[in-house]
Amino acid sequence: MAQAHDTHAHDGFAPGWTRTQEGERQWPEEVTIDPFADAEAAAPFETAPARPQLPPGTHPPDTRAGAAAGDLRLPPELAALRGLLPDATLAAALVRARHLGVGGDEVLIAAGLIDPDAASAALADHLGLPRATLPRRLPLDADGVRGALRTGMLAQADPVRGAVFTLCPRGHGARRLTRAMAQDPGLAGRTSILAPERLRAHLARYAGPALTRQAAFDLRRRMPEFSAALLSPVRILAGPLLLAAALLATGFLATPQTTFLIVQGLLSVMFLGAIALRLAACFITPEPDSPCRLGDHHLPIYTVMVPLYREAAVLPRLLAALAALDYPPEKLDIKLVVEEDDRQTREALRRLALPARFEIIPVAAIGPRTKPKALNAALPFARGQFLVVYDAEDIPEPGQLRAALAAFQKGGPRLACVQARLAIDNGGDSWISRQFSLEYAAQFDVVLPAVAAFGLPMPLGGTSNHFRRSVLEGVGAWDPYNVTEDADLGLRLARKGWRTEVIASTTHEEAPVHLRPWLRQRTRWMKGWAQTLLVHGRDPRRLVRELGAGQAVGATLLVAFPFVAALLHPLCVAVLCWDMARGALGGTVSDLPELLISSLSYTNLAFGYGGAVVLTLCGARRRGLLSSAFVLPTLTLYWLLLSIATLLAMVELIRAPHRWNKTEHGVAARKRARAAPALAGDREVREDAAGRPPPRPATA
């Protein structure tokens, strides 16, 4: 059974499992360093005093002379590498390790100067410990595997020696192990060493199906009220639809004009309320991103998760974008999540020389074949306190991780998620991609910043969501059965009392260029929004109780309005065309009900189109896309395409509610690839080994 020892977070050995009141096993409480605490409290354990910040323009003392003389004081993880690497390289690694607050071996591995297996083997030899080997079949269930991944340690019972440990120390973990062995000499006879990368790869290979099964069905088991797996749209909607149809039929038979007026009046209240909310958003000026006040020493480990499925064509661009992130490679934990049967993508990844911070997580073909299930399956492998999700075609701005940390720092402990803005960078490829780019500008540069300012529940975008990992796990992570897991998760976070903010940092995406892929993508989106409405509308009283009346109304306007408007838009256009055909627009109206009906219809159309144009122009101005505004006169056609996608979504909701319509990437006509920096990213230690002085650390 796995015991708990987090090589990055704990300062002790093997606190045991505990049990809940229901008797279920749970992990020990994770002790983490708060990156937003004061610097003294957040400083990690060191065997030597941490190197102070240097003023601009100065350089650190040259440690190479001491190294050459053999009197350089090295921590265990570097002392184990004497003879394998030049002393000048070890000295440079020590300088950078102190600056970043990590272990020296982590610096060398991130720089590509030593293999992870070789570093762990050297540490085992240095401490006089055997190198561990793992059997294919481990006596662990899914919870045990998650515990082993979380702690970086396996503990098994031996009939002779008692509890024996397979440890994966890295960095400060090697120092803690050294201290523990000094305090308990008998520990050496019960301990073996394995590279943490080797443990994760082994568990991903042999325990992957168990983790994937848990990823697919855990939310359904733990929080069935939030899972779309148990949705039966026909059963849920049959009763209300039959009742509404009966009332409407009775009303239209008795007083058709009055009934039509009542229905249109109720819909108009929702439409005009949603339009008013969007117009109000135009008057909210988004705040610029705050600077990150954390120095490199106190930056937490950050996990980047990228789900991939049939994405071999965009891998070079994706890897270049991730390599450009302005974050210490030693503290980046990048997970490339690949379906087990996606041979093309896996072969393409195997041909690439990925740096140590990249890790491939295979996902077994169990449960629904959806992006949220893949993310859930990879979540146990995440090591970071914070986590972000990117799509395969994304190009995030290099400073986005630091901007998100600044937002978390400013927003306080109740801020669970930070949404970066999304922008389309191939809008000029076609008419539909240009409309798409304007739509994104309105949504992410105008609406969502205002939603955050108003304190309303936020339906997240499908990518560039930054989470506190502990909160994400606490609310059940993603729903594998919801095909717009982002919108669903945003509402669930709000219902659990957490806040979401928007930052100005942008992630550039690729829009569909042709109608068919756009229609497939939008059909999936509309189907997912319908799933989200059904899931969170199951118990309206509970929804109001958890969100409050104001937030519940706001969430309804944000989620329900686009779906209902897309369904009814063709009807409104048809009424307008009918009135134009029979000359009612220029003639006289026979009675008051007809006058009111016509007035409401034209008011909704006028405010709908007028509000959309104002909102789009506001977003285009903020995003610098006013040159694309010439397509706005064709907005009616674009909305009619949205209506077609919504009707197709209604059909799919009944026939294939959990089918994921894959969007093809890498088809943009304009070249989107940007200059790719060296993937190694850490040339400092290499240059130090070549005889140049170590770099001056960046000031906070």
Per-residue pLDDT tens digits for 683-699: 444 444 444 444 433 33
Q: How confident is the model at residue 625 (pLDDT cuts 50, 70, 90)?
A: very high
Residue corresponding to tokens 């992410």: 444
Q: Do 326 and 462 fall within a single domain?
A: yes
Range of the domain at 307: 224-669
Q: What is the pLDDT at residue 252?
A: 62
Please check the confidence at residue 248 and state whether its pLDDT lies above 70: no
Which pLDDT score is estimated for 257?
66
Q: Does 161 lie in the same domain as 242?
A: no
Q: Between 357 and 29, name the one with better pLDDT.
A: 357
Res. 233 pLDDT band, cuts 50 70 90 = low
CA pair distance 334, 357, nearest whole angstrom = 6
323 occurs within a structural domain: yes
The whole-number pLDDT of residue 454 equals 92
Last residue within a domain, chosen from 212, 232, 259:
212
pLDDT value of residue 406: 96
Which of these three, 158, 179, 212, is where a domain ends?
212
Of the ranges 4-13, 50-59, 85-94, the best mean pLDDT one? 85-94
Would you state the pLDDT for residue 390? 97
What was the pLDDT predicted at 381?
Answer: 95
Which of these three, 177, 212, 247, is where a domain ends?
212
183 and 274 belong to one structural domain? no
Q: Is residue 4 part of a domain?
A: no
The arithmetic mean of pLDDT across residues 306-318, rounded, is 92
Query: Contact at 8 Å (CB) between 98 and 51?
Result: yes
pLDDT of residue 668: 66
Q: What is the pLDDT of residue 251?
A: 66
pLDDT the model gives residue 68? 42
Q: So what's the pLDDT on residue 22?
A: 42
Classify residue 680: in a domain, yes or no: no
Predicted confidence at residue 12, as pLDDT, reads 29
Q: What is the pLDDT of residue 516?
A: 93
* 91-136 per-position pLDDT tens digit: 999 999 999 999 999 999 999 999 999 999 999 999 999 998 887 7
| Residue 197 sits in the same domain as residue 250 | no
Residues 249-270 have pLDDT tens digits of 776 677 776 776 777 777 777 7
At 574 the pLDDT is 76
Q: What order of strands is seen across the sheet that includes strand 191-193?
A: 153-158, 162-167, 191-193
Does residue 675 form part of some domain?
Answer: no
Q: What residues contact 341, with CB distance under 8 A and at least 6 apart?
A: 365
**Residues 207 and 229 grouped into a single domain:** no
Asked if residue 2 belongs to a domain, the reply is no
Angle at 289 between CA 288 and CA 290, to 5 degrees: 115
pLDDT confidence of residue 591: 62
CATH number, domain of 517, equals 3.90.550.10
Mean pLDDT of 211-238: 83
Q: How confident is the model at residue 505 (pLDDT cuts 50, 70, 90)?
A: very high
Mean pLDDT lowest among 42-51, 92-101, 498-507: 42-51
- List of long-range contacts for 491-496, beta carbons under 8 Å, 24+ apart: 491/457, 491/459, 491/532, 491/536, 491/555, 491/559, 492/226, 492/536, 493/416, 493/417, 493/457, 494/457, 494/458, 494/547, 494/551, 494/555, 495/457, 495/536, 495/543, 495/546, 495/547, 496/546
Who has greater pLDDT, 29 or 163? Answer: 163
Verify that 286 and 176 share a domain, yes or no. Answer: no
Judgement on whether residues 530 and 638 belong to the same structural domain of the protein: yes
When mean pLDDT is compared across 381-390, 545-554, 597-606, the lowest value belongs to 597-606
Helix axes 256-281, 592-623, angle to 10 degrees: 20
Among the residue ranges 40-44, 122-126, 169-173, 197-201, the one predicted with the least confidence is: 40-44
| Contact call for residues 539 and 694 (beta carbons, < 8 A) | no
pLDDT at residue 558 in the model: 86
The listed range with the strongest mean pLDDT (31-35, 233-237, 313-317) is 313-317
Q: pLDDT for 328-384, tens place per residue?
A: 999 999 999 999 999 999 999 999 889 999 999 999 999 999 999 999 999 999 999
More confident residue, 5 or 406: 406
* More confident position, 101 or 16: 101
- Residues 12-30 have a mean pLDDT of 38
Residue 551 shares a structural domain with residue 588:
yes
Residues 203 and 232 in one domain: no
Domain-embedded: residue 686: no
* Higher-scoring residue by pLDDT: 376, 664: 376
Selected residue with higher pLDDT from 278 and 39: 278
Alpha-carbon distance of 504 to 445, in angstroms, equals: 8
Mean pLDDT of the chain: 81
Q: 228 and 206 share a domain?
A: no
Q: 653 pLDDT exceeds 60? A: yes
Higher pLDDT, 23 or 429: 429
* 257 and 184 share one domain: no
Between these two residues, 484 and 60, which has the higher pLDDT value? Answer: 484
User: Using 50, 70 and 90 to split pLDDT, how confident is the model at 565?
Assistant: confident
Q: Is the pLDDT of residue 41 over 80?
A: no
Q: Look at residue 594 in the predicted model and tell me its pLDDT.
A: 64
| Whether residue 545 has pLDDT greater than 90 | yes
As to burial, measured by CB atoms within 10 angstroms (0-12 exposed, 13-18 middle, 19+ buried), residue 238 is exposed
Number of domains the chain is built from: 2
Helix (H) or strand (E) holding 451: helix 448-454
Dump pLDDT digits (tens) for 154-189: 887 777 777 788 999 999 999 999 999 999 888 888
Torsion of CA 156, 205, 201, 388, to 10 degrees: -110
The Cα 346–Cα 311 span in angstroms is: 9
Is 677 domain-assigned? Answer: no
Q: Domain check: are 188 and 255 in the same one? A: no
Q: Is residue 355 part of a domain?
A: yes
Contact status, residue 500 vs residue 418, Cβ threshold 8 Å:
yes
Q: Where are the alpha helices (DSSP H) in 50-158?
A: 64-69, 76-79, 87-100, 104-110, 116-127, 142-151
Strand partners, 7: none
